[in-house]
Amino acid sequence: MIDRELRLAGAVTPLAVAVTLSAAVVLTAGAAMAQAPTKAIRAQREIPEDSLLDVGIQIFDPGLPPGDSYVLEEDLIFEDIRKSEARHIPVRLMDTLQATGQWGAVRVVPKGTRSTDLVLRGKIVESTGRKLVLEMRAADSSGREWLEKRYKQIADPRAYHDEEIDREPFQELFNQVANDLLAARDKLEPDELRAVREISELKFAAELAPVAFEDYLSVDRKGRTVAVRLPAEDDAMMERIAQIRERDYLFIDTLTDHYANFEAQMREPYDNWRKFAYDEEMAQRKIQKKARVQKILGVLAILGGVMMDGSSREKQAVREVAVIGGAMAVRVGMSKSQEVKLHLEALRELASSFDSEVAPLLVDVEGQTMRLSGSIETQYVTWRQLMRDFFIAETGLPVDPDSGEPAAAGTPTDSTLE
């Protein structure tokens, strides 16, 4: 019996060595084939002013599951963290785009902002310390789709374990989004880029004064918005609208600063949470694997003990030890699974500490100080309505485009596009 076991052991050893060598070859080949890190492409020359598009990155959809149970512990989805991430990720993407020098002003904007040259929308599909999956869409002011793609990245572990370097675990994902946007922009001709900027201006004007500007824009057969004519260069109403748009930019910059400040405040605890989540997920995988092995070995030990011949006292003792040892191994495996649940509960408690309340803003509108409260999205809607109301009161234009009342004197003249 002993000789047979030794022969089997001797037969297995070369196979184990062969498997080890094969694995080493595969790992070496995989390392050789690994792609270089994705870096954001930076501008090598100054971009012409009329080709610089302003970018608005809307607050992301947090991707929370529907229903009352918004916390799915097994998937590490926590409502508070996801809502915070929906503000954090756009800021990181904004920083990435700004650093390339390929764009005009890049802002984080509330949902529903439309009068920007290029609008980015995102949804968080999956977000743990280990993995990030985003669905991204981008379209310019004409409605032309630039991007509709799912991105995913496994975290760079150096970001969690190299304290000397400030590294974003998912920076390569943001770099890839930036490069894809750049590739889409480079497919457009300079005239097309200028048209995008003109449409943005006219859309803003049409939101303020639909009666005066409703005929300046049209929709072509592809469903895209096109400018059919432009206001005269010295048009007084357009000059006034340009001033209001500058104030709107200043207001959006204030909101962007709020998002950036929130991101800065949450960065340290959020980075700690991601590192904790990353380590916990890796530990969880190790625990689950160990628990499965222990359960399997325990069951095998029990089966082996039951199947042994218990005719002699010595064999009976061995049989009992095998059964008891197997039962304890199964119990250890179950306790490891319970340990995973405790870790997830700790994450849930940590998530509840995030707070994204928005302080009211005081704004000056034509010499009157007004207080805007509610969410950022609510404040922005209120702000735009205030701008429109003051503009209508100033110009005397009808509020309702279908009211039938004639527009006031001073309706902008125009030059037809050729």
The DSSP string of 269-282 is: HHHHHHHHHHHHHH
Average pLDDT, the chain: 74
Q: What is the DSSP letter of 347?
A: H
With a cut of 60, say whether residue 182 has pLDDT above it: yes
With a cut of 50, say whether residue 22 has pLDDT above it: no
For residues 322-333, give the mean pLDDT: 52
Q: Residue 225 forms beta bridges with which residues?
A: 219
Question: Do the beta carbons of residue 112 and residue 171 sit within 8 Å?
Answer: no
How does residue 353 score in pLDDT terms, banded at 50, 70 and 90?
A: very low
pLDDT value of position 414: 38
- Top mean pLDDT of 109-123, 135-149, 307-321, 388-402 is at 135-149
With a cut of 70, say whether residue 135 has pLDDT above it: yes
What are 247-281's pLDDT values in tens digits? 888 888 888 888 888 788 777 777 877 887 788 77
pLDDT value of position 299: 59
CA distances (Å), origin 93, targets 85, 108, 179, 260, 394: 12, 9, 12, 11, 39
Half-sphere exposure of 181 (CA within 13 A, CB side): 35
Indicate whether this model's pTM tops 0.75: no
With a cut of 80, say whether residue 382 has pLDDT above it: yes
With a cut of 90, say whether residue 146 has pLDDT above it: yes
With a cut of 70, say whether residue 227 has pLDDT above it: yes
With a cut of 90, say whether residue 147 has pLDDT above it: yes
pLDDT value of position 164: 59
How far is residue 288's CA from residue 277's CA, in Å, rounded to a whole number? 16
**Poorest-confidence range of 102-111, 194-203, 260-269, 327-336?**
327-336
What are 68-93's pLDDT values in tens digits? 555 555 555 777 778 888 888 999 99
With a cut of 70, say whether residue 283 has pLDDT above it: yes
For residues 281-301, give the mean pLDDT: 64
Produce one character per residue of 59-80: b if its CB has 16 or more CB atoms within 10 Å, e if not.
bbbbbbeeeeeebeeeebbbbb
For residues 45-68, give the mean pLDDT: 87
pLDDT value of position 264: 81
With a cut of 70, say whether residue 233 has pLDDT above it: yes
For residues 53-57, give the mean pLDDT: 96
Percent of the chain exceeding pLDDT 70 equals: 62
pLDDT value of position 306: 52
How does residue 349 score in pLDDT terms, banded at 50, 70 and 90?
A: low
How far is residue 80's CA from residue 87's CA, in Å, rounded to a whole number? 11
Nearest to 229 by CA among 80, 413, 82: 413
How far is residue 266's CA from residue 264's CA, in Å, rounded to a whole number? 6
pLDDT value of position 189: 94
pLDDT value of position 317: 53
Q: CATH for 33-195+233-267?
A: 3.40.50
Place of tokens 């457009």: 188
φ, ψ (nearest 5 deg) of residue 387: -60, -40
Letter for the amino acid at 53?
L
Strands 414-416 and 118-127: unpaired
pLDDT value of position 224: 92
How does residue 193 score in pLDDT terms, banded at 50, 70 and 90?
A: very high
